[in-house]
Amino acid sequence: MEQQEKSMQFMQIAMKYLPEAKEMLDELGVEMTMDKLQPFMSLLTKVMNDAYELGKNEQE
């Protein structure tokens, strides 16, 4: 799978859980804006990529 395609899939997964994350942050009194969100989405994509690679390596 191409890296860009994989990143798009990871971003779709992250967006699926965005409402839950927003609710948690709202409960803590933390305002979530797209500007604030972008670094966390990038970090989450890196985490998912590492997990994908780990699973891929374990299958080999």
Which residues, 6+ apart, have CB-to-CB distance to 37 below 8 Å?
18
pLDDT at 6 over 80: yes
Q: How far apart, in whole angstroms, are the C-alpha atoms of residue 52 and residue 58?
A: 10
pLDDT in tens, 21-35: 899 999 999 998 889
3-state class of 13 per DSSP? helix
pLDDT in tens, 34-53: 898 889 888 988 999 999 99
* pLDDT in the model for residue 16: 93
Instruction: Report pTM.
Output: 0.69
